Every structure is written in structure tokens, then in C-alpha cells.
Copies of this chain bind each other. A is one copy, B any other.
Amino acid sequence: MGTVALLWRHEHPLPPRPGRRPTITLDAVVAAGIHEADEQGLHDFSLRRVAQRLGVGVMTLYGHVENRSQLVELMVDQCRLDMEWAPLTGPWAARLEQVADENLALLARHPWLAHVETERAVLGPGTLTKYERELGAVDPLPLDDVGKDQALALVLDFVRSSARALEAARAERTEETPEQWWAREGAELAALQVEERFPLAARVGQATGEATNAAADAAAAHVFGLAVLLDGLAARAGVSRERSAPA
């Protein structure tokens, strides 16, 4: 079955057919895949593990899904379908902030989403619903349709980067502290007179490294970047950040 047909499988539930009855549903495969990716990350995500989690053989999955990457696409759309939304309210900037927050929360819940490579659009119900909703945040801006799409993509790409930085900061704490890393590799670096040869880098690197909490830094960078983006959109669109959106 084509990917589109599988994405929209709930639109046309197929009538019972002759032959052996399936022991697992595609929904169960997708759900197991999401759990597996949440726990193991996309790098260690494998069909064998998903099958094991479901208690079936690996090749059983191929009766429900064409291949690994199609399963990932289905997982992506499902995650978007499962988002919980409060209605967008307030001026456009507040709406865009809300959209950014929702996406950051989504990527915190499913960090692997920020690492999915298949940029080819996944035209499923979750993705379309999400896109429709988020266009509502940029719709008040006096931009043409292409510009609205670009403005939204700008914010979403930024959130993606933020999420990756936050995840990296989180992982850094669990697997190796900066002190351990420095004890291992830093001594050799110090012998290279970095301060003299790269004065700006040394100064700024020290400033960013001084804050004890890497995760807090990444969060601050997110707040800063989002403010810059909203200011920039306001300036470029020639509109105030506070102007409330039309109904």
C-alpha cells in the first residue's frame, strides 16, 4: 500500500476479508515504534526491536508497512496527530510564541523527531492538521501566501534547532560531565595557547561555558532567538508585534 493510503487509513477502514486475521494492527506497530524511538533514540531504532516489543517476528512488520522509512513517516504523522492544542489567541506574535512552545514540547516528548531526515513532506492527517493550525498564527501578517509559509518554516526550523541543543545539553549531563571531558581532552588543548591565537573565541567560549547549567543556557538561547525572530518578522512585515489579529 502507498504511504498516503496508510497515512489516511482511518478515513476508509477496510471491510473484513477472507484469509488469516491479523494479530497486530498498523496502529499498534506505529505506537510501538514511537515508544521504541522515544526510549532508544532514532539511531538505535530498528525494526527488530519494534517487532520484539510487539512479540512478533521481524518480517511480520512487512505485512503492515513497506519498509523502515515508511514506518518512520507514519510515526511522525501520528505524533503530530497526538498533539494537544489550546486555541490560538491574542495578537500574531503571541500566537507564534504559542506555536513555538507547542513544537518545543512535542520535540521534548519525542526527541527523535528533530533527527528525522526525510524532509520530503509527509502529507498525512496529523501534518496537515498541524500545518493548517499553525498557518493561523502567521495569517494575520501582511505577507503573501508564500511569505506566510516561509515565516512559519523559519520559526519551526528554529524550534528544531533549539530542541536539538536542549537535548544535547540534557544528554551531556547523563553520560559525561564537562569536567570529565576536560580532564580527558582539555589538558592537551590548554597546551596549545588557544587564548593568544583565538582571543575572541576564548573569551566568548569561557563566557558561555561559565554558566554552570548547559540546559539553562540552551533555554536562554531559545528565548533570545525567538525574540529576535518575532522582532524581525514585525520589522520585515512592517507591523507592530502587539497588533491583535483579526477574528
* A residues neighboring B (CB under 8 Å): 2-5, 8, 11, 43, 115, 117, 119-120, 123, 128-129, 131-132, 135-136, 139, 144-151, 153-154, 157-158, 160-161, 164-165, 168, 172, 184-186, 188-189, 192, 194, 197-201, 203-208, 211, 217, 220-221, 224-225, 227-236
Apart from A4-B189, A146-B208, A150-B224, 13 more pairs, CB < 8 Å:
A2-B184, A119-B168, A120-B168, A131-B201, A135-B204, A136-B200, A150-B221, A150-B225, A157-B158, A157-B161, A228-B229, A229-B229, A235-B235
| Chain B residue at minimum C-beta to C-beta distance from A165 | B119
Given the interface pairs A8-B192, A131-B198, A185-B2, the reply to whether A204 lies near B149 with Cβ below 8 Å is: yes
- Is B146 in contact with A185, judged by CB distance below 8 angstroms? no
Q: A145-B207, A149-B208, A192-B11 are in contact. Are A135 and B228 (CB under 8 A)?
A: no
Q: How many copies does the complex hold?
A: 2
Q: Flag if B160 contacts A161 (CB, 8 Å).
A: yes
A174, B166: Cα distance in complex, Å: 35
Partner pick for A188 among B2, B128, B132, CB 8 A cutoff: B2
Give Cα A51–Cα B230 distance, bound, in whole angstroms: 49
- 17 A–B pairs (Cβ distance < 8 Å), ordered by A: A4-B186, A4-B189, A131-B201, A131-B205, A132-B198, A132-B199, A139-B200, A144-B207, A145-B203, A145-B204, A146-B217, A150-B220, A151-B224, A161-B161, A224-B236, A229-B232, A234-B235
B residues in contact with A207, CB < 8 Å: 144-146, 149
7 cross-chain pairs, A with B, having the tightest CB-CB distances, nearest first: A232-B232, A145-B207, A228-B232, A231-B235, A157-B161, A231-B232, A135-B200
A135 to B85, CA, bound (A): 40
Chain B min CB distance to A247 (Å): 15
The chain B residue with its CB closest to the CB of A128 is B198
Point out the residues of chain B lying under 8 angstroms from A230, CB to CB: 232
CA distance A136 to B198 in the complex (A): 11
A143–chain B nearest beta-carbon distance, Å: 9
Known: A168-B120, A188-B5, A208-B145. A129 touches B227 (CB 8 A): no
Minimal Cβ-Cβ distance residue in B for A154? B225
Which residue of the partner chain B has the closest CB to A217? B146
Nearest-neighbor residue (CB-CB) of A143 within chain B: B224
